[in-house]
Amino acid sequence: MKVKKKTVGLFIYLMLLLLPIYWMLNMSLRSNADILASFALYPKGITFMNYMKIFTDSSWYMGYVNSMIFVTINTIISLFVALPAAYAFSRYRFLGDKHMFFWLLTNRMAPTAVFALPFFQLYSTIGLLDTHIAVALAHCLFNVPLAVWILEGFMSGVPREIDETAFIDGYSFPRFFITIFIPLIRAGVGVTAFFCFMFSWVELLLARTLTVTNAKPIGAIMTRTISASGLDYGLLAAAGILTIIPGMMVIWFVRNYLAKGFAMGRV
C-alpha cells in the first residue's frame, strides 16, 4: 500500500512539473493574435507557423547551432582537464591541495553580472570576441570546478587497490588511467558531461556579452521577439520548446549511466 502512495505522489509531481511546459507547447502551436484573443486549454486550430519561422530564418536557427558548438567545446575541454585533476585530488596529498580545491569552487561563487564586463575587455584584447571558443572558455570558469568536484566524488569511490594492482602489473600511468580507470567511472563521466552541458547551455549573461553575431546563442536571440507590438508569445514559446530538445537528447543518452546504479561502491 505504501509503495502505491509513493508512486501516486511521484506521478502528481511529474504532472505538475510538466504543466508549465505543456502550457508553453500549447502557446507555441497558436498564433499570437489567437493567444491574446482567447483563453484556451488546448490549441483549437493548430498552426506550425511559429516553428516554420524559426526553421526558415537563419538568424533564428543559427542560434541553436552556435549554442550547440560552444556547449560541446566547453564540455570536451572541461572533461579533458578535470579528469586528471580529479584523480590527483582523490588519490594524492600534495602541497596546497585543500586550498586549491576550495579556490576552484570559489569560482562558481562569483557574481557573473559584474564579471561580464572584465570578460568582455579580456576577450576583446586577445581577439577572441564573438567566437565559439571564447564562450566555451568563459564557461570553463564555473564548469571545470564543478567537473572536478563531481568526478573527485566518483573516483574516491574506487578502491585504491585497483591502482596499486595495475601499477604492480606494470601499467604506465597514462595507460592505466585511460584503459582501466576511466572505464570504471564511466557513469561519473556521463553525469559530469551532463552537468557541464546543462550549465553551459542555460547560461546567458556571459554568452550574450561575449558574442555579437557569429556566435550568438539562442537565448540572446530570443530577446528579439520583443517587438514594437509587444511580446510575440507564440514565437517565443516555440523557440523555448526548441531549446529544451537538445538537452533532452543528452539526458536520454546518459540516462543509463544515471539510472543503472552508480556501481562505484561495488567495484
Partner 1 sequence: MEKWENNKAWFLVLPVFVIVAFSAIIPLMTVVNYSLQDIWGPGQSVFVGIEWFEEMLANKRLHDALWRQFLFSGLVLLIEMPLGILIALAMPKRGWGAAACLVTIAIPLLVPWNTIGTIWIIFTRPDIGLFGAAVNKFIAFDHTARPLDAWITLMLMEVWHWTPLVALLAYAGLRAIPEAYYQAAKIDGASDWATFWYIQLPKMRGVLTIAFLLRFMDSFLIYAEPFVLTGGGPGNSTTFLSIYLVKIALLQFDLGPGGAFSLIYFVIVISFSFIFYQALQRVGKGEQV
Site for partner 1 in 53-82 (CB under 8 A): 77, 80-82
Return the number of the residue (16 or 228) whose C-beta is nearest partner 1: 16
Size of the site for partner 1 (CB under 8 A): 104
List the one residue from 46, 76, 117, 178 that touches partner 1 (CB under 8 A). Answer: 117
- Of 51, 112, 171, 180, the residue at the interface with partner 1 (CB under 8 A) is 112
Q: Is the dihedral of CA 33, 37, 39, 40 positive or negative?
A: negative
Q: Which amino acid is at 235?
A: L
111 counts as binding partner 1 under rule CB under 8 A: yes
135-194: which residues touch partner 1 (CB under 8 A)? Answer: 137-138, 140-141, 144-145, 148-150, 153, 156-157, 160, 191
Contact at 8 Å (CB) between 121 and 52?
no
Cβ pair 77, 136 in contact under 8 A: yes
CB atoms within 10 A of CB 52: 11
Distance in Å, CB of 25 to partner 1, minimum: 11
Q: Which of residues 126-145 bind partner 1 (CB under 8 A)?
A: 137-138, 140-141, 144-145
Q: Is 68 exposed, middle or buried (0-12, 13-18, 19+ CB in 10 A)?
A: middle
Cα separation of 156 and 105, whole Å?
18
- Of 13-21, 43-51, 53-61, 178-186, the segment contacting partner 1 by CB under 8 A is 13-21
Where do we find the cell 523555448?
240
Among 85, 185, 193, 238, binds partner 1 (CB under 8 A): 85
HSE toward the beta carbon, residue 244, CA cutoff 13 A: 11
| Site map 23..52 versus partner 1, x via CB under 8 A | xx--x-------xx--x-x-----------
